[in-house]
């Protein structure tokens, strides 16, 4: 039963990921749902809201990694696969046919280990998507709708409680900007989210001793 639940959660996580990419309607539905859930804090300046969401997702993802990954087994598998690859490369360089034949007999076992490794890495990612994807969709749509309203006068979709002044700030080196203004190839708010997420991620990793 637990294994089935794990598989369903993994499938659902990746479904969310691809659904927000290919379906605008689904993305809006997710964003409106999050708008309702987080209605008590939508009055905050947007960069503070992003910071809070980065903190939540960093905490959640570290908890997922801590309790879904067997790090002892992970390191054991990585060590065995790495050792096999080193031995194989060395045998090829030295044209050691006897060693290559021995290693060939272990190939199926190594493939199973690599498959297990991939599963161990994908599982926490899929679980993280279940919380992170709705938050990303929500933040993206809020910033985008405010930007389009401010710059082009487009109406804000019903259900979103937006005040454009909450999306404007003064940034070092950039001056007064809207959080959706692009810096290189990404909106400013996304850079801010990634920076906060990395910072909080490292803090929670140490506190929770993830990977130890």
pLDDT tens-digit readout, 145-186: 999 999 999 999 999 999 999 999 998 888 999 999 998 889
6 lies in some domain: yes
pLDDT at 16 over 90: no
Does residue 44 form part of some domain? Answer: yes
Residue 153 falls within a domain, yes or no? yes
Axis crossing angle, helix 107-152 with helix 97-105, rounded to the nearest 10: 70
Average model confidence (pLDDT) across the chain: 91
Q: For residues 212 and 89, which has the higher predicted lDDT (pLDDT)?
A: 89
pLDDT of res. 15 = 86
**pLDDT at 143 exceeding the cut of 70:** yes
For the stretch 116-130, pLDDT in tens is 888 888 888 888 888
| Residue 137 in tokens | 């969709």
CA distance 105 to 111: 11
Q: Is residue 54 part of a domain?
A: yes
Task: Answer yes or no: is pLDDT of 197 > 90.
Answer: yes
**7 SS3 class:** helix
CA distances from 207 to 128, 186, 211 (A): 19, 31, 11
92 inside domain: no
What are the start-end ranges of the E strands in the chain? 168-171, 175-178, 182-183, 186-187
| Contact call for residues 143 and 187 (beta carbons, < 8 A) | yes
Helix (H, G, I), strand (E, B) or coil at 81: helix
**Inside any domain, residue 197:** yes
Question: In angstroms, rounded to a whole number, what is the distance separating the alpha carbons of residues 109 and 87?
Answer: 15
Q: For residue 148, tell me if it sits in a domain.
A: yes
| Token digits of residue 149 | 């309203």
As for how many domains the chain has, the answer is 1
Tokens of 82: 């790495």
Domain of residue 142 covers 2-68+132-208
- How confident is the model over 47-85, as pLDDT tens digits? 999 999 999 999 999 999 998 888 889 899 999 999 999
Closest of 44, 15, 54, 17 to residue 142, by C-alpha: 44
Structural domain includes residue 152? yes
User: Which DSSP category does 22 fall into?
Assistant: H
What pLDDT, on a 0 to 100 scale, did the predictor assign at position 2?
Answer: 63
Q: Do residues 210 and 65 make contact, with C-beta atoms less than 8 angstroms apart?
A: yes
- Asked if 43 contacts 142 with a C-beta cutoff of 8 angstroms, the reply is no
């Amino acid at each position: 039963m637990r294994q089935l639940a794990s598989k369903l959660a993994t499938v659902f996580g990746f479904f969310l990921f691809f659904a927000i990419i290919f379906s605008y309607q689904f993305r809006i539905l997710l964003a409106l749902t999050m708008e309702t859930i987080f209605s008590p804090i939508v009055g905050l300046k947007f960069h503070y809201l992003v910071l809070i969401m980065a903190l939540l997702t960093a905490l959640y993802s570290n908890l997922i990694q801590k309790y879904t990954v067997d790090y002892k087994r992970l390191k054991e598998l990585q060590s065995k696969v790495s050792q096999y690859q080193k031995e194989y490369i060395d045998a090829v360089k030295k044209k050691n046919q006897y060693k290559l034949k021995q290693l060939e007999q272990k190939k199926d076992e190594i493939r199973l280990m690599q498959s297990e490794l991939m599963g161990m890495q994908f599982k926490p990612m899929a679980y993280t998507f279940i919380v992170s994807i709705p938050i990303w969709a929500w933040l993206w749509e809020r910033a985008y709708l405010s930007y389009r309203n401010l710059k082009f006068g487009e109406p804000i979709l019903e259900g979103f409680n937006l005040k454009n002044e909450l999306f404007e700030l003064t940034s070092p080196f950039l001056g007064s900007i809207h959080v959706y203004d692009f810096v290189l190839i990404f909106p400013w708010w996304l850079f801010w989210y990634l920076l906060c997420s990395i910072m909080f991620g490292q803090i929670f990793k140490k506190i929770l001793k993830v990977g130890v």
